[in-house]
Structure 1
Amino acid sequence: MIVGTAGHIDHGKTALVRALTGIDADRLPEEKRRGITIELGYASMPVAGSESISFVDVPGHEKLVRTMVAGASGIDYALLLVAADDGVMPQTREHLTILSLLGVRRGAAVVTKIDRVDEAVAAQREAEVRALIAKEGLVDWPVLRVAALRGDGVEQLRELLVAESANATRPADTHAAFRMPLDRVFTLSGVGTVVAGSIAAGSVCIGAQLCLAQAPQHVLRVRGLQVHGAALEEAGAGQRCAVSLASLGREEVERGQVLCDPAIAQQSDRIDVWLRVAAIEEAPLRSGALVHLHIGTQEVMASVAVLGQPALAPGEEGAAQLVLRQAICAWQHDRFVLRDASAARTVGGGLVLDAHPPVRYRQTPQRLALLATQRAPDAMARLAGALAHSPLGVNAAQWLRDAGLVSWPVELASLHDPVITKDSEWIIGRPAMEAAQQTLLAALADFHERSPQEVGLELRRARRQAAPRMEDALWLSLVDNLRESGQVGLRGSFLHLPAHGEQLRAADRVVAERAMPLLIEGRFDPPWVRDVAASINLPEEQVRQVLGRLAKTGEIFAIVKDLYYPPRTVLELAQIARTLGKNDASITAAAFRDATGLGRKRAIQILEFFDRVGMTRRVGDDHLLRPGTQLFAQEESV
């Protein structure tokens, strides 16, 4: 369990930690000279077995609230201190507000320095403290009286913390990736660079490969781990930990960065959040407000965009988007605090809902409904909510990373029967997929009615009409599902309804069965459309439409307008061109003419066809083969 102190300056936070642990958390000479805490201090208190309680001692001065927030971000249990000879002060209230905004609901209030006042004053202070914490809904917090220097009440507080520690064991989450916001960086002789912080999630062991989330390409190997000065093989969430890292210079890392599993390393320049405005604020928080964002041990400037309404009143909650002046590392359900532009007071705080939100359409009813589902504490419940309100699906890999997970806690297929792409990269809810399928079927029916002589909608055009913003993998799944269920057919790259395809195939087959022998017989010099029509005694326009449809579906090839070649003939011509172009030799129109026995004009037309389909490329008047190009699946590549 990690315990954090909170309270006004000179209310006895460091003295109480020293009385409980025997450790002076003030490390800096300036702290000892001035008698105040400036930087975060750390101490530990052993409990039964090999466990211990960690303490983070925070400064109480109003100008050091940013340091207090960094220390309070990783705690499990708070000790709110109020000096009996001073009473509730401004930083008492602000620190309590910060604890509430950070979601710290477990703790105790401690009236300190009771040896400096009589019983009446001590009782009055206790009543004031009880009233203060009751306003935050913390009526179950015990209130203790302590005189740290004399020892009064210290043992009772120690017993309380030991009992709370026994109930504070976090269940191991094997799906959570390791991440730890850094609040200390130092070097040790013979060890090298050491970073320290409170482990926010996951676990780490010696030899593990980690990275700084701000520099994911630089993989760092864990050389050693220490918790409260004791070397360990493994450490996990809820522990204060020092990590020595190989291949990391002191100048490459600083407080505010995040050490994490490379699988979840990410940065964001805007985040969608659930925001609560501090009840002690005097005015609403409006869109456009400039604030200091404190998240983990990071601090950046941000602009607030309240979503769905113009402002949030004091004590009110709602969705918002924070647009950041510089990128930060954030994951779902990270807690944060907002302070005003001058960093003089705390204005609000809350929970990260989406670390990669959209810039556009951020205030649509559908988007707001999706954000409401992301408040759920369970990750899979959040995913189910996202699927229910995402007609374009969810990127599974990105969502897993945003959630800070390395694996799924449950099988994806259990989430109300979603559609999962073959590579498992994208997920979409079944209703959303079925709606997109119905849109496509309606588009095909409309196209067939307007253009009955056409094969169907070309795949790219069909996508523009039915699902213009859908990802490639989901679009392919949509088409595959409809084909497998027999609801659509595919001829070449053209989608059509089955009944329409059958009607066309029957009509085209009559023409094709009479025309194809003529094209095959003509070999390198097949007849033109007008000649085919005359030979089989059919209208020229009818033959032109049928052969055009066959060309669209890849059953024949149009070399130029009204001149079609069967695939076998095109393959023969391609092999001749390949022979001429071996060893990077140029293919000239004259050489191709002589090899095929065609006229110069036809030879040029065929070579230009090969340029169009990518088998060759033109260089001046000559043509060069493109390595690896295949005209047909059965053809061997160069």
Structure 2
Amino acid sequence: MIVGTAGHIDHGKTSLVKALTGVAGDRLKEEKRRGITIDLGFAFLPLDDGSTLGFIDVPGHERFVHTMVAGASGIDIALLVVAADDGVMPQTREHLAILDLLRIGRGLIAITKADLATPERLDEVIAQIREAVAGTVLDGAAILPVSSVTGLGIDALRERLVAEAHAISGRAADDRFRLAIDRVFTLAGIGVVVTGTVLSGQVHVKDQVLISPSGLRARVRSVHAQNREVETGRAGDRCALNLAGEDIGKEAIHRGDMVVDPFLHAPTDRIDAKLQLLPGEPKPIGQWFPARLHHGSAEVGARVVLLNGDQLQPGHAMDVQLVLEKPIAAAALDRFVLRDVSAQRTIGGGQFFDLRAPTRQRRTPAREAQRAALATTDPREAFASLLDAPPFAWDLAAFTRDRALSASKRDDIAAALSPMVFHADGDIIAISHAHWRSFVDGLIARLDAFHAAYPDVQGMGREKLRVSLQPKLPASAFALALQHADVAGRVVRDGAFVRLASHSMQMSPEREALWQRVAPLLGGEVRFRPPRVRDVAGVLARPEQDIRQLMAFAARLGLVDEVAHDHFFLRPTMHEMVLIAADIAAHAADGRFTAAQFRDRIDSGRKVAIQILEFFDRQGVTLNRGTLRRVQARYLDLYGPAP
């Protein structure tokens, strides 16, 4: 368990920690010279049961409040320090506000320098404290007079802190590992060391981890927890990790980064959250309000987008979207603090809900329902509510990643809710059984209506059908849904088209005879550069219009695709060219290829190759960025044979 001090400058926080533990928290030469804490200091108190109580000594000076926020983010028990001679001071109130915004649930209050105060003065200071903490997380907390010089009350305070530590259930050690980095340094003969508080999970020697948001890979060479070498660091521990890796160096890792389980690496720069504005703010904040966001040990510029109005009044709370200057590593339900851009005061804080917030349609009823679900603390209840919120299909893997939940907790959610699940491209797309039945019924009804309106068309485009249905499934999950037993016997997938099994189109005997003469002209060695309509008409001595009508009907049957005007390619040839493009991309260092590379592989002219690639761009098979293209793997089967 971690105890964090809070309070005004020169109120004796560091001396109190030393009196409690025998260890001086100040560690920098500048701190010792000036007699104030500038950066976080750490001390440890071994307990009789073999556990250790860690202390974070945070600076009280207003210039270092951002460091205080970093320390407070990792503490379990707050120790608010108020000097008997000064009483409650400005930084006392600001530190108290930060503890309240971060919802530090347990705490004690120490009145230092009590040996210098009269009983009347102590009563006066106690009254000030009671007034200051009223309505905050420390409302009703025990107040203990102490003296770091004479030892007055030190033993009683230590015993109360130990009792508070034993009363806390602790952080989630069975969740995935996260450590907020507050220091980075190198030691001779050891290498790079990072320190911080383990927010969740466990870390072991030899574990593979990632530095987020940079994405650097590292291996844990050794672990120190609570100031001693161990094999495992657990949630709630103060840890020092010795890291090794190809790109790991002191300059590559920064305060504010996190060491995480590789599964958790998904930085974000746009977050939906609940923001509480402090009552003491002089005026409301409006749209696009600039601020400094403090989360864990990270500090980053942010803009505030209000989601339930145009102004947020002091003392009130509102759903907001935080648009960050650069990505951070975070987890849903993390607490945060906002300070003004001049770093002069704390203005508010709150809790993250959605780490993947959209840029558009932020105020719709659907988004309100999603935010309400994501704000639910219990993960099973939260995901159950999500399944009843548009688009009624949600990625369980992403949900558990963003909450840093373990695989076992993910499985517990799936077992409790028993949704319909599709495993696609690393996602676990879940749908409630009620919405699955609605999806199947809607799919059949949509295709039935399409066939009634367009009886001579082969089927409905797969992507057009997907986006027209609720739940709206991702493309990869939609492809799997079409193969589900509830659907497969009633629906047929013909390449890029989907139709009811009962719907069929057939050529007339005359057209079939003509097609048997045309098809060979489009295949074989010329399949990548087939003749156009006028050339086919010339070879067969038939009017162009006859050939054009035949090809249009063959396209509706899925036999050919019109890549450019009057230029048709056989469907198997289209599939072959998609696979060629994918093969070129797979052998490219960055997965991107040029039109010239594609042209050379299919041995055609540049103009034809460009037309083919532009057709693939329109269908979503390829994405064009300037002169380079990459393949979207989920569309590789678009022109393949029906399964």
* Residue identity in the other structure for 1:59: P
Kindly report which structure 2 residues correspond to 1:29-108, keeping only aligned pairs within 5 A, or say none: 29-108=29-108
Q: Which amino acid aligns with 1:32?
A: K
TM-superposed CA distance for 1:449, in Å, is 2.5
Q: Secondary structure at the match of 2:134?
A: helix
> Is the 8 Å Cα contact of residues 264 and 405 (structure 1) preserved in structure 2?
no
Deviation at 1:190, TM superposition (A): 1.7
Instruction: State the identity as a percent.
Output: 37
1:297-308 matched pairs, under 5 angstroms: 297-308=297-308
Tell me how far 1:441 sits from its aligned partner: 3.5
Cα distance in structure 2, aligned partners of 1:230 and 1:54: 12
- In structure 2, what is the equivalent of residue 609 of structure 1? none
Deviates more, 1:248-257 or 1:482-491: 482-491
How far apart are the structure 2 equivalents of 1:398 and 1:364? 22
CA shift, 1:545, in A, is 8.6
Residue equivalent to 1:618:
604
Amino acid corresponding to residue 258 of structure 1 in structure 2: M
Flag the 1:553–1:5 CA change in 2: closer, same or farther, 3 A. Answer: same
The 1-side partners of 2:243 and 2:151 are apart by: 41
SS of 2:291's equivalent in the other structure is: strand
Give, as a single letter, the amino acid of the residue that structure 2 aligns with 1:238: G
Task: State the partner residue of 1:602.
Answer: none
Question: In structure 2, which of residues 419, 427, 430 is the aligned counterpart of residue 425 of structure 1?
Answer: 427
- Does residue 148 (structure 1) correspond to residue 151 (structure 2)? The answer is no
Q: Is the Cα contact below 8 Å between 1:196 and 1:240 reproduced in 2?
A: yes
TM-score in terms of structure 2 length = 0.78
Closer/same/farther in 2, CA of residues 280 and 451 from structure 1, 3 Å limit: same
Cα separation, 1, equivalents of 2:563 and 2:271: 54
**Structure-2 residue corresponding to 1:388:** 388
Q: Where does residue 279 of structure 2 map in the other structure?
A: 279
Equivalent residues of 1:519, 1:566 under 8 A apart? no
Give per-residue Cα distances to partners, 1:79-136, cap 9 Å, x unaligned: 1111111111111111011001111020011111111111111112112212322231
Q: Kindly tell me: are residues 115 and 341 of structure 1, through their superposed partners in 2, closer, same or farther at Cα, counting changes over 3 Å?
A: same
Cross-structure match for 2:212: 213
Call closer, same or farther: CA 1:466–1:630 in 2, change over 3 Å.
closer
| Equivalent in the alignment of 1:340 | 340
For the structure 1 residues 384 and 125, does the alpha-carbon distance in structure 2 shift closer, same or farther, using more than 3 Å as the test? Answer: same
Partners in 1 of 2:518 and 2:101 — Cα distance?
82
Deviation at 1:59, TM superposition (A): 0.9
Structure number with bigger Rg: 1
Whole-angstrom distance in 1 between the partners of 2:298 and 2:264: 17
2:310 matched to which residue of 1?
Answer: 310
Q: Distance between the aligned counterparts of 2:14 and 2:564, measured in 1?
A: 88
Aligned counterparts of 2:142 and 2:321: Cα–Cα separation in 1: 37
**1:147-546 → structure 2 map (5 Å cutoff):** 147-170=147-170, 173-174=173-174, 176-216=175-215, 218-247=216-245, 248-391=248-391, 393-411=393-411, 413-414=414-415, 416-423=417-424, 425-430=427-432, 431-463=434-466, 465-466=468-469, 470-481=473-484, 484=487, 486-490=489-493, 493-499=496-502, 501=503, 504=504, 508=506, 511=508
User: 2:77 touches 2:165 (CA, 8 Å); kept in 1?
Assistant: no
Q: What is the one-letter code of the residue matched to 1:246?
A: A
Greater displacement, 248-257 / 269-278 = 248-257
RMSD of equivalent CA atoms: 3.9
Q: Distance in 1 between matches of 2:2 and 2:331?
A: 21
Alpha-carbon distance, 1:74 to partner: 0.1
- SS class of match (1:156): helix
Aligned residue for 1:480, secondary structure, equals coil
Tell me: CA distance 1:493–1:266, structure 2 relative to 1, closer, same or farther (3 Å). Answer: closer
SS in 2 for 1:19: helix
d(CA) in 1 for partners of 2:207 and 2:38?
A: 34
| Structure 1 unaligned blocks of 5 or more | 527-540, 575-611
Is the 2:171–2:200 contact (alpha carbons within 8 Å) kept by the matching residues of 1? no
Secondary structure in 1 aligned to 2:344?
A: coil
Instruction: Note if contact 2:104-2:137 (Cα within 8 Å) is conserved in structure 1.
Output: no
Given that 1:519 and 1:565 are in contact with CA atoms closer than 8 Å, whether structure 2 keeps it comes out as no
Q: CA deviation at 1:515?
A: 7.6
Matched, 1:116 2:116: yes
Aligned to 1:20: 20
Tell me the alpha carbon deviations over residues 208-255 of structure 1, each in whole angstroms, 9 at most, x when there is no partner.
111211332x32111111123311011110000111112432222222
Q: CA deviation at 1:50?
A: 2.2
Hey, what's the Cα distance between the residues in 2 that align with 1:559 and 1:184? 58
Please give the residue correspondences for 1:542-621 in structure 2 after superposition, counting only pairs within 5 Å.
552-553=556-557, 616-619=602-605
Please say which of residues 480-489 and 331-340 is displaced more in the overlay: 480-489
The one-letter code of the counterpart of 1:240 is: R
Query: SS at 1:383's partner residue?
Result: helix
Name 1:598's counterpart in structure 2. Answer: none
The alpha carbon displacement at 1:16 in A equals 0.7
Unmatched segments (≥5 aa) in structure 2: 523-544, 577-597, 613-635
Whether contact under 8 Å (1:283, 1:314) holds in the other structure is yes
Q: Letter of the aligned partner of 1:22 in structure 2?
A: G
